[in-house]
Structure 1
Amino acid sequence: MSHIFIKTIIVLTGGILQGIGMGLFLFPHFIPSGGAGGIAVLLNYWFHIHTGLALWLVNSSMLLVAVKYLGKRVAVWTVIGITMTSASIAFFEQTVIIGNRNLLVDFFCGSLLLGTGIGLLMRQSVSNGGVGVIALIVAHKRSISPGQPLFWINCSVFIFTAIVIDWKIILLALGSQWIATRIVNLICQLNFYPSYTLSWRKK
């Protein structure tokens, strides 16, 4: 039970940190946090749907498609993570107002928090949702690394988002992904709580 309790706390914390990074720092500048984030930004831009709700809808629909490849247990934890992320985005978008925003400060703060949140989730073998699950399906069917389809799917979404909203978005999105990925790798390589064996590779 203690393992489940600790895992629950870490998954919720990871979801909250993702939500803060997205809702408080990245999304106000329409910077997508990934493929699903880009779609959420577009839904908000076109239909004025709250990005938290839009992200949850996108992630949930993709997750349902990929449950058979992720496994039910991982899917349940992923739903918990993305629900907490979406709830956090909605909360911070509606309750926290930052005056005199600085794009670079928001960019770096959002990217660091995003990477930290994803890293905590991945250490628990929990997907953060998004187009990553679609990339896994493509990789499975074609017997290739998921990195390749994930890269092209994310880039396609970034480019389309940039065309619709602003071309500088693609540079910011790629930069944010680079920083977040470095943080994810760092967190996944560190040995937190070794007595609980929270290796991100362990199923």
Structure 2
Amino acid sequence: MSSNKLAGVFKTLLPILLGTAVYAFGLLYFILPNQLMEGGVTGVTLLLNYAFGISPSLSNLLLNIPLFLLGWKVLGGRSIVWTGIGIGSLSFFLWLFERLIDYGWILPFETQTDYILVSLYAGVTLGAGLGIVFRFGGTTGGSDIVARILGRKYGFSMGQVILTLDVVIIGMSLFYIRKENILYTLVAVFIASKVIDFIQEGAYSAKAFTIISDHAPEIADIITKEMERGVTLIPAIGAYSKQAKHMAYCVVSRQEIRRLQRIAKSVDPRAFIIISDVHDVHGEGFKED
């Protein structure tokens, strides 16, 4: 592996590690000691802890391993490798903070009165952690894998699947925690979603890329193969140079922004890239009518 590729790997790896560390800290410092909830597989790990005292780091790893293997088979190894790193690092940091709390080196923020304060800080912490992970092309596994598989097989949007799973899991928590805590959880979830949007540099569900380059066809081929996103090549003529070239147009989710930028710049460092907000997207890979 060349030094440039190695540097690119570390530029992605280190933020994902930082994001999962922040997320794990928020779960164990704010969420768990105050019996709040989360969605997805993380929510299941919290339920297992509340009901049976099972370690979140252990349950997170055990629940995600079969999902990761299924995702590897259905979605392909290359597209899910950063998800595997996210799963592993989140489980590690959960284990690390569990040990630090057990040894008394970290004292969790536990309260009986300031649940609004806990909800706000939990939302900011979890949102910041996930926002960093998503911005650099990673995920923490769980419901993200399920959503991508169902989207590939049955055309469901990721948002629909994740929302449904979150509602089911948070609803199940009513058997183990107070309904007031569920309401505080919704505050934390709302704050987290806004922080994720802020870190992702936009509140929209997708971004449109217009790439003007002498190597636009090659860029389009790599995007199609590695990201499995459709690309449209548009003939163009430079007004100054009068030379014919192509523009590549592609719409991607927020999590894929940095990945597409890296692909374009790796093929043509001089590529002219325009990134636009997309208010609503209908079609394969996004919202289906």
Q: TM-score per shorter chain, which class?
A: 0.7 to 0.9
Equivalent residue pairs, number: 195
Summarize the Cα distance change of 1:173–1:133 in structure 2 as closer, same or farther, 3 Å threshold: farther
Shift of 1:54: 1.5
- In structure 2, the gaps of 5 or more residues are 1-5, 101-105, 203-253, 261-289
Contact persistence 2:75–2:149 (CA under 8 A): no
1:36 corresponds to 2:46: no
- In structure 1, the gaps of 5 or more residues are 191-198
Summarize the Cα distance change of 1:113–1:73 in structure 2 as closer, same or farther, 3 Å threshold: farther
2:130 equivalent in structure 1: 118
Would you identify which runs of 4 or more consecutive aligned residues in structure 1 move more than 4 Å?
A: none
1:98 equivalent in structure 2: 108
1:26 corresponds to 2:38: no
Matches within 5 A, 1:173-188: 173-188=185-200
Contact persistence 1:111–1:176 (CA under 8 A): yes
Deviations 1:1-38 (A, max 9, x none): 21111211111101101111111111222222222122
**Greater share of residues in strand:** 2
Contact persistence 1:17–1:117 (CA under 8 A): yes
The one of 78, 89, 92 aligned to 1:84: 89
Deviations 1:90-118 (A, max 9, x none): 33234212366343333222211111111
Aligned-partner Cα distance in 1 for 2:118–2:95:
17
Aligned-partner Cα distance in 1 for 2:172–2:53:
18
2:166 equivalent in structure 1: 154
Contact persistence 2:17–2:89 (CA under 8 A): yes
SS across alignment from 1:189: coil
Deviations 1:39-89 (A, max 9, x none): 101211232111122122223332222224543234332222222222222
Q: Which residue type is aligned with residue 170 of structure 1? A: I
Contact persistence 1:17–1:85 (CA under 8 A): no
2:154 equivalent in structure 1: 142
Aligned-partner Cα distance in 1 for 2:174–2:120:
19
Task: Report % sequence identity.
Answer: 27
- RMSD (Å), alpha carbons: 2.2
**Greater share of residues in helix:** 1
Shift of 1:170: 2.6
